[in-house]
Protein backbone atom coordinates (compact mmCIF):
# COMPACT_ATOMS: atom_id res chain seq x y z
CA UNK A 1 0.00 0.00 0.00
CA UNK A 2 1.36 3.43 -0.90
CA UNK A 3 2.15 5.80 1.91
CA UNK A 4 -0.51 8.44 2.26
CA UNK A 5 0.08 12.06 3.13
CA UNK A 6 -0.12 11.27 6.83
CA UNK A 7 1.84 13.79 8.86
CA UNK A 8 1.71 14.88 12.47
CA UNK A 9 3.90 17.40 14.28
CA UNK A 10 4.71 17.52 17.95
CA UNK A 11 7.29 18.58 20.46
CA UNK A 12 8.19 19.61 23.96
CA UNK A 13 6.69 22.30 26.16
CA UNK A 14 9.30 25.03 25.57
CA UNK A 15 9.03 24.35 21.80
CA UNK A 16 12.79 24.04 21.29
CA UNK A 17 12.41 20.38 20.28
CA UNK A 18 9.98 19.82 17.41
CA UNK A 19 9.46 16.64 15.40
CA UNK A 20 7.33 15.34 12.53
CA UNK A 21 5.79 11.89 12.24
CA UNK A 22 5.70 10.96 8.54
CA UNK A 23 3.38 7.94 8.54
CA UNK A 24 0.78 6.35 10.72
CA UNK A 25 2.29 4.37 13.60
CA UNK A 26 2.62 0.61 13.82
CA UNK A 27 0.36 0.36 16.87
CA UNK A 28 -0.73 2.54 19.78
CA UNK A 29 -0.47 1.22 23.35
CA UNK A 30 -2.40 2.56 26.28
CA UNK A 31 -0.40 1.10 29.17
CA UNK A 32 -1.87 1.00 32.65
CA UNK A 33 1.15 -0.53 34.43
CA UNK A 34 2.34 1.05 37.64
CA UNK A 35 5.68 2.03 36.03
CA UNK A 36 3.89 4.07 33.37
CA UNK A 37 1.68 5.61 36.04
CA UNK A 38 4.74 6.75 37.97
CA UNK A 39 6.63 8.00 34.89
CA UNK A 40 3.69 10.04 33.64
CA UNK A 41 2.39 11.04 37.08
CA UNK A 42 -0.99 10.01 35.70
CA UNK A 43 -3.24 6.98 35.22
CA UNK A 44 -1.60 5.51 32.09
CA UNK A 45 0.90 6.11 29.29
CA UNK A 46 -0.14 6.51 25.66
CA UNK A 47 2.66 5.38 23.33
CA UNK A 48 2.63 5.16 19.51
CA UNK A 49 5.15 2.61 18.23
CA UNK A 50 6.81 3.77 15.02
CA UNK A 51 9.99 3.22 13.01
CA UNK A 52 12.69 5.68 14.13
CA UNK A 53 13.27 6.98 10.60
CA UNK A 54 9.61 7.99 10.38
CA UNK A 55 10.10 10.51 13.19
CA UNK A 56 12.03 13.49 11.80
CA UNK A 57 13.62 16.01 14.13
CA UNK A 58 12.61 19.49 12.89
CA UNK A 59 14.42 21.54 15.52
CA UNK A 60 16.14 21.28 18.86
CA UNK A 61 18.36 18.62 20.34
CA UNK A 62 17.72 15.24 21.92
CA UNK A 63 18.89 14.44 25.41
CA UNK A 64 18.82 10.67 25.93
CA UNK A 65 18.39 9.57 29.53
CA UNK A 66 18.89 5.95 30.57
CA UNK A 67 16.01 4.97 32.86
CA UNK A 68 15.20 1.69 34.65
CA UNK A 69 12.29 -0.54 33.58
CA UNK A 70 10.33 -3.34 35.17
CA UNK A 71 12.08 -5.87 32.90
CA UNK A 72 15.45 -4.80 34.27
CA UNK A 73 16.73 -4.09 30.75
CA UNK A 74 16.11 -0.35 30.89
CA UNK A 75 14.82 2.20 28.44
CA UNK A 76 16.28 5.26 26.80
CA UNK A 77 14.01 8.28 27.21
CA UNK A 78 14.58 11.13 24.75
CA UNK A 79 13.96 14.52 26.34
CA UNK A 80 14.30 18.16 25.37
CA UNK A 81 17.56 19.32 26.99
CA UNK A 82 15.96 22.64 27.98
CA UNK A 83 12.53 21.86 29.45
CA UNK A 84 13.18 18.11 30.05
CA UNK A 85 9.86 17.00 28.62
CA UNK A 86 10.02 13.41 27.35
CA UNK A 87 9.01 12.90 23.72
CA UNK A 88 9.75 9.20 23.10
CA UNK A 89 11.37 6.09 24.55
CA UNK A 90 13.36 3.22 23.09
CA UNK A 91 13.19 -0.13 24.83
CA UNK A 92 15.64 -3.00 24.73
CA UNK A 93 13.32 -5.26 22.70
CA UNK A 94 13.25 -3.35 19.41
CA UNK A 95 16.25 -1.20 20.31
CA UNK A 96 16.81 2.09 18.51
CA UNK A 97 14.80 0.99 15.47
CA UNK A 98 11.35 1.58 17.02
CA UNK A 99 10.40 4.64 19.00
CA UNK A 100 7.61 4.68 21.56
CA UNK A 101 6.34 8.16 20.86
CA UNK A 102 4.50 9.90 23.70
CA UNK A 103 1.20 10.64 22.04
CA UNK A 104 0.45 13.54 24.37
CA UNK A 105 3.38 15.49 22.86
CA UNK A 106 1.64 15.64 19.47
CA UNK A 107 -0.13 18.86 18.53
CA UNK A 108 -3.14 16.73 17.55
CA UNK A 109 -2.91 13.85 20.01
CA UNK A 110 -6.56 13.00 19.41
CA UNK A 111 -5.57 11.58 16.01
CA UNK A 112 -3.83 8.57 17.62
CA UNK A 113 -6.30 6.88 19.95
CA UNK A 114 -5.26 3.59 21.62
CA UNK A 115 -5.32 0.36 19.57
CA UNK A 116 -5.13 -1.69 22.77
CA UNK A 117 -5.21 -1.31 26.57
CA UNK A 118 -2.51 -3.32 28.35
CA UNK A 119 -1.62 -4.18 31.94
CA UNK A 120 -5.16 -3.30 32.99
CA UNK A 121 -4.75 -5.52 36.09
CA UNK A 122 -3.27 -2.36 37.66
CA UNK A 123 -5.63 0.10 35.97
CA UNK A 124 -6.93 2.89 38.20
CA UNK A 125 -10.35 1.68 39.44
CA UNK A 126 -12.14 4.93 38.57
CA UNK A 127 -11.12 4.75 34.90
CA UNK A 128 -13.77 3.33 32.57
CA UNK A 129 -12.46 1.85 29.29
CA UNK A 130 -14.41 2.12 26.04
CA UNK A 131 -15.85 -0.92 24.30
CA UNK A 132 -14.47 -1.89 20.90
CA UNK A 133 -10.77 -1.71 21.87
CA UNK A 134 -8.97 -4.85 23.14
CA UNK A 135 -8.33 -4.89 26.90
CA UNK A 136 -5.49 -7.11 28.16
CA UNK A 137 -4.83 -7.71 31.85
CA UNK A 138 -1.07 -8.03 31.12
CA UNK A 139 0.78 -7.96 27.77
CA UNK A 140 -0.50 -9.35 24.45
CA UNK A 141 0.40 -11.33 21.34
CA UNK A 142 1.45 -8.98 18.54
CA UNK A 143 0.57 -11.55 15.86
CA UNK A 144 -3.03 -11.63 17.07
CA UNK A 145 -3.64 -7.90 17.45
CA UNK A 146 -1.46 -5.96 15.01
CA UNK A 147 -2.71 -5.19 11.50
CA UNK A 148 -0.96 -7.23 8.81
CA UNK A 149 0.63 -4.09 7.36
CA UNK A 150 2.26 -3.28 10.69
CA UNK A 151 3.58 -6.83 11.07
CA UNK A 152 5.14 -6.54 7.61
CA UNK A 153 6.70 -3.18 8.42
CA UNK A 154 8.21 -4.61 11.61
CA UNK A 155 9.56 -7.67 9.77
CA UNK A 156 11.17 -5.40 7.15
CA UNK A 157 12.77 -3.37 9.90
CA UNK A 158 14.23 -6.40 11.65
CA UNK A 159 15.46 -7.86 8.34
CA UNK A 160 17.33 -4.63 7.61
CA UNK A 161 19.20 -4.72 10.91
Q: Count residues contacting Zn ion (CB under 5 A)?
A: 9
C-alpha to C-alpha distance for 101 and 28, rounded to whole angstroms: 9
Q: Which residues contact 118 (CB under 8 A, 6 or more apart)?
A: 29, 30, 31, 32, 33, 136, 138, 139, 140
Q: Is 83 in the site for Zn ion (CB under 5 A)?
A: yes
Q: Does 77 bind Zn ion (CB under 5 A)?
A: no
State the minimum distance, in angstroms, from the CB of residue 32 to Zn ion. 7
Binding piece for Zn ion, criterion CB under 5 A, among 13-21, 89-97, 103-111, 133-141: 13-21
Of the candidate residues 16, 62, 151, 157, the single one contacting Zn ion (CB under 5 A): 16
Binding site for Zn ion (CB under 5 A): 12, 14, 16, 31, 33, 36, 80, 82-83
Amino acid sequence: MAEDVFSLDGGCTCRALRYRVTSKPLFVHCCHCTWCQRETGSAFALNAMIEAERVVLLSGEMDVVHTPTNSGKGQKITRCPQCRIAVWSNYSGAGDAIRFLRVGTLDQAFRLPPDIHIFTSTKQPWLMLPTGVPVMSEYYDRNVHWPQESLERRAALLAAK
